[in-house]
Structure formats: C-alpha cells, structure tokens
C-alpha cells in the first residue's frame, strides 16, 4: 500500500513537470512515454430509458454498436477480460473550488505555511486512460473520500465502480451517483436530465494541446468544457467526459467528446450557487500500459454494498500543519465544530479545508494556535457555501448559522 501511494506521488510530480514544459511551447508537443502508472447507503433502482442529448457538437462520434449497459449498484459485475498491454495515457488533474477566501492580514499569520497547506490539500486526481477503460485515483487528503479511493469505468457500461483503498473491495454505482459520492460519501442516485450540448469556437491550447469548447447545460449545472485530442486514445477520454457529466447529473450518452478526445478543462457552475473547475495539468503517453490496474471490476476484489462510514469531526489537515498556520504554540482548548445540518460539511480556515463534520456531529478540532482566522462552511463541490466570517480560536463555529444570501 505504501509503495502504491509513493508511486502515485512520484507520478503526479513527474506529470506536473511535464505539464509545465508543455505550457511553455507554442507547437503541439510530443507526449512523453511513462515508465510507471500512478496509482451510502441507497441502493440504485434499475436505470432504464437513458435520456438522449440534444447537440450541435462537432465531436466525431463512434460507429453504431450495442449501447452501453447501465451499471446497477445491487448487482456484482462479471470479471473483466483485457489484453495484457495497450497504448494509453496517464494524466494528472486537479479540482478547484470557487469562492475560497484568503487569510486575514494580521502579523501572526504564517503566509508561507498557509500556502504550503493549501497546495497539500488541493484535490488531485491520478488518471489512467486506455481506449476502453479509465481509472481515477483520488490522491491526497483533500477529498471527503479516503485517499487512494478509485473510480473505474469501461466503455460498455454507463456508471462507475468505486474501489476501496487497497483494492480489496469494490462497489458498482449507477449513473447519477458521483455528485453525492464525492460531496457526501453517499451512494444516493440523483435524477438525470438530458444535457443541451452546444459546440463553441476553438478555445486555444491547454498544456500545449489545441482545444475546442463545448457548452453543457443540465437542470443541475452549466458547464464549459475544453476538449483536446490525443492520438490512439480511443474512447478513454469519453469515459472522463462521462465522469464530469455524472457530476452535473447529466445523462452519460451526451456527445461531449469524440474519438481520441478528452476534457482538458471543465468549468462547472451549479444552478443555485458555487461551482468547481477540473483541469488536466500533465499528460504522459504509455505505449505499453499494463491493463491489470484498469480491470473493471478489479481482479480479486470482493463485491460489497457497504456504505462509506461518515462520523464525527474528522481532521483533514494534519496536526503538525494546523500548528503552523499562526505564530505561537497550539492552545489546549481548540475550536469546537458543530454541524446541525443533514449534510456532510467541510470546514475551511483561511481557505484551507481542515475538517469534515458529519450531520448532527459536534467535536473539538485541536492543534490550532490561538488567534483570528477566516472561517467558512461549505459542501465539497460548493453547492452550499456560507459567507466567510472572522473566527476566534479558541471558540465555537456552527454550520448553517451564516446566511449565504442570494448569488
């Protein structure tokens, strides 16, 4: 397990360097070869009559064939049969939240430590794509889900497979589940809407790859997606498009990406307020990608219907990092966090996620030096965002007590 986590960290670092190099060139880059790959409770009802999307997109669509079969959360998947090696790509990507606020300007603020903590807590993905499979590893502590949780997908199925850290267990999830899973650790299935997909003009380049822009509108959100092309990618990028559509509660069959295409950036704004944006920061071509880690479901993994536990106040930022956010030693009293709402909430200090607080939970977050901070309650994906307030430590902060106002 430690070896896989180390491999993930090394691969992400290599990809960031590759992405930075690509951004400095004005011509289409050669994609480098990689030597190693990085690493709830409601039962979905049968998913039938998948909505079809309306579109004026210029995406190259695939030849007609059997339509993908929707995954059911209450039905184990058969073993996956794949060739030993394929041409594929490894990507690094990041998910950034809207409306995150900076620390106060006071002498006791440790600006360098805050910036280091912000980088550490940024939600990052390590993604493997083959022409027919996708594996997304949630890297680092910045997600509500445990680090090294995986999402896997295949082109002949709609939906995803959630793989527990360590790879010993998996749970299938049907279309419409990812938003609740990523934000609240829940396996609830939300209603899907038929997306309106409209092609826009070329958007320029991202990490050296020319892109075109697509606008996507569902009942839940509006998205702008910059789509690029990689040779020999096949339908792997379509699976990444489906993942982003699922987060928007959009039907998975919408033609947002075509053959050899993938989303390099997506700006998602929720209908009510808030939003996130997804961005690919590095790309490595894999001429001999091993397919074992892409199997959906994983070989040897056990099917489970168990929920992901949610309980109490869970620190996200390590105590050693909390202690550096202000000058001075940590106090003994700490900060009492209380969440009387029915949703899992994330608590931020100075724009940094420091704790997850389960519904109806109250506990003390310890390790903070006394002082004034900028505090904010929100959901992970930003559908609910409270206005930031000045928070005194020691003290108490309660979710749902600050009116976010209209946005």
Kindly report, residue by residue over 357-379, the tens digit of the pLDDT: 999 999 999 999 999 999 999 99
* Spatial separation of the C-alpha atoms in residues 36 and 7, rounded to whole Å: 8
Structure tokens at 337: 């966090």
Structure tokens at 130: 């083959």
Displacement of CA 59 from its chain's centroid (Å)? 24
Query: What pTM was estimated for this model as a whole?
Result: 0.83
Statement: residue 266 has pLDDT above 90: yes
My answer on whether omega of the bond before 211 falls inside 30° of 0, hence cis, is: no
What value does the mean pLDDT take over residues 210-237? 95
| pLDDT digits 0-9 by tens, 172-186 | 999 999 999 999 999
* Spatial separation of the C-alpha atoms in residues 118 and 74, rounded to whole Å: 38
3-state class (DSSP) for residue 64: coil
Residue whose token pair is 């039905």 = 75
For residues 23 and 378, the model is more confident at: 378
Residues in contact with 272: Cβ distance below 8 Å, sequence separation at least 6, in sequence order: 383, 407
| pLDDT digits 0-9 by tens, 112-154 | 999 999 999 999 999 999 999 999 999 989 999 999 999 999 9
pLDDT of amino acid 120: 95
Query: CB of 33 within 8 A of CB of 89?
Result: no
Number of DSSP helices (H) and strands (E) in the chain, helices first:
5, 23
For residues 406 and 385, the model is more confident at: 385
Residue whose token pair is 């969440």 = 339
Structure tokens at 19: 């992405």
pLDDT of amino acid 65: 61
Statement: residue 161 has pLDDT above 60: yes
Query: CB of 337 within 8 A of CB of 357?
Result: yes
Question: Which has the closest alpha carbon to 302: 164, 172, 169?
Answer: 169
pLDDT of amino acid 106: 84
Statement: residue 288 has pLDDT above 90: yes
The per-residue pLDDT of the chain, averaged, comes to 84
What value does the mean pLDDT take over residues 208-233? 95
pLDDT of amino acid 163: 97
Question: Which has the closest alpha carbon to 143: 349, 306, 314, 269?
Answer: 314
| pLDDT digits 0-9 by tens, 292-322 | 999 999 999 999 999 888 889 999 999 999 9
HSE (side-chain half, CA atoms, 13 Å) at 399: 27
* Spatial separation of the C-alpha atoms in residues 361 and 341, rounded to whole Å: 9
What value does the mean pLDDT take over residues 242-248? 96
3-state class (DSSP) for residue 184: helix
What value does the mean pLDDT take over residues 203-226? 93
pLDDT of amino acid 273: 84
Question: Which has the closest alpha carbon to 100: 375, 401, 336, 321?
Answer: 375
Confidence of residue 387 (pLDDT cuts 50, 70, 90): very high
* Spatial separation of the C-alpha atoms in residues 390 and 205, rounded to whole Å: 40
Query: CB of 332 within 8 A of CB of 314?
Result: no
């Amino acid at each position: 397990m430690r070896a896989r986590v180390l491999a993930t960290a090394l691969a992400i670092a290599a990809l960031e360097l590759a992405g930075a190099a690509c951004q400095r060139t004005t011509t289409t880059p050669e994609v480098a070869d990689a030597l190693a790959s990085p690493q709830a409770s409601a039962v979905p009802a049968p998913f039938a009559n998948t909505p079809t999307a309306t579109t004026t997109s210029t995406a190259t669509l695939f030849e007609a064939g059997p339509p993908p079969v929707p995954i059911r959360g209450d039905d184990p998947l058969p073993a996956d049969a794949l060739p030993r090696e394929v041409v594929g790509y490894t990507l690094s990507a990041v998910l950034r939240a809207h409306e995150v606020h900076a620390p106060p300007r006071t002498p006791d603020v440790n600006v360098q430590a805050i910036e280091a903590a912000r980088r550490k807590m940024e939600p990052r993905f390590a993604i493997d794509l083959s022409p027919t499979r996708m594996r997304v590893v949630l890297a680092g502590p910045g997600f509500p889900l445990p680090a090294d949780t995986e999402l896997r997908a295949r082109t002949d199925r709609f939906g995803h497979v959630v793989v527990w850290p360590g790879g010993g267990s998996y749970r299938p999830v049907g279309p419409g589940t990812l938003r609740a899973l990523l934000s609240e650790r829940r396996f609830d299935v939300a209603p899907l809407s038929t997306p309106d997909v409209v092609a826009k003009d070329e958007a320029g380049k991202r990490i050296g790859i020319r892109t075109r822009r697509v606008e996507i509108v569902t009942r839940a959100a509006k998205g702008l997606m910059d789509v690029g092309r990689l040779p020999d990618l096949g339908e792997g990028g379509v699976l990444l498009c489906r993942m982003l559509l699922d987060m928007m509660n959009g039907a998975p069959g919408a033609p947002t990406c075509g053959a050899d295409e993938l989303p390099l950036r997506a700006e998602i704004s929720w209908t009510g307020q808030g939003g996130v944006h997804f961005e690919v920061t590095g790309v490595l071509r894999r001429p001999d990608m091993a397919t074992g880690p892409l199997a959906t479901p994983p070989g040897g993994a056990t099917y489970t219907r168990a929920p992901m536990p949610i309980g109490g106040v869970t620190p996200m930022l390590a105590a050693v990092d909390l202690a550096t956010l202000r000058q001075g030693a940590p106090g003994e009293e700490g900060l009492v966090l209380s969440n009387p709402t029915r949703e899992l909430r994330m608590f931020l200090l100075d724009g940094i996620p420091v704790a997850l607080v389960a519904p109806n939970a109250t506990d003390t977050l310890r390790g903070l030096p006394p002082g004034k901070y900028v505090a904010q309650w929100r959901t992970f994906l930003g559908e609910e965002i409270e206005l930031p307030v000045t928070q005194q430590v020691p003290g108490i902060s309660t979710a749902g007590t600050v009116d976010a106002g209209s946005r």
